[in-house]
Amino acid sequence: MNTKDNQINYVEFKAKDLEAIKEFYAGAFSWSFTDYGPDYVAFSESGLEGGFEKSEKKVLNGALIVLYHSDLKKIKDKIVQCKGRISKDIFSFPGGQRFHFMDPSGNELAVWSDK
């Protein structure tokens, strides 16, 4: 994967039933999947890599756009400096770390790094 700072790198959706969502996207669009435990599945062969996170809540805005940056601390500080609000601080996950932020309009996005 060619990862570049400040570019959209991943999209994450919410889903109530991961098996049903895999069946739908595999059947309709021939996407491939990799399971990461009972609550997460990544997809590929879609043009942009992404995943589905299991959620019992009603899906209102089911997409999380994930940008890449090689230095999470640096970009996190810049986001705050530009009036963004951190909604979920830096945490680890299989493959790296990320954090979530809210833009001035209230859109939630995330930034991840494999560094």
Report the Cα–Cα distance between both ends of the chain, in Å, rounded.
Answer: 14
The reported pLDDT for the residue numbered 1 is 57
Domain boundaries, the chain: 7-113
The reported pLDDT for the residue numbered 56 is 85
The reported pLDDT for the residue numbered 59 is 72
Nearest to 46 by CA among 96, 83, 15, 10: 10
Q: Are 42 and 81 in contact (CB under 8 A)?
A: no
Q: Are 42 and 36 in contact (CB under 8 A)?
A: yes
Rg (CA), the chain: 15
CATH of 7-113, one of 3.20.20.70, 3.10.180.10, 3.40.50.970, 3.30.930.10: 3.10.180.10
The reported pLDDT for the residue numbered 18 is 93
Q: Alpha carbon of 4 to those of 1, 7, 92: distances in Å?
A: 10, 6, 20
Q: What does each of the 115 residues of the chain score in pLDDT, given as a tens digit?
A: 578 999 888 999 989 899 999 998 898 888 999 999 999 999 999 888 999 999 888 777 778 999 899 999 999 999 999 889 999 999 999 889 999 998 877 888 899 999 8
Parallel/antiparallel/unpaired status of strands 63-68 and 108-113: parallel
The CB density around residue 69, as the number of other CB atoms within 10 Å, is 22
**Distance, CA of 87 to CA of 89 (rounded, Å):** 7
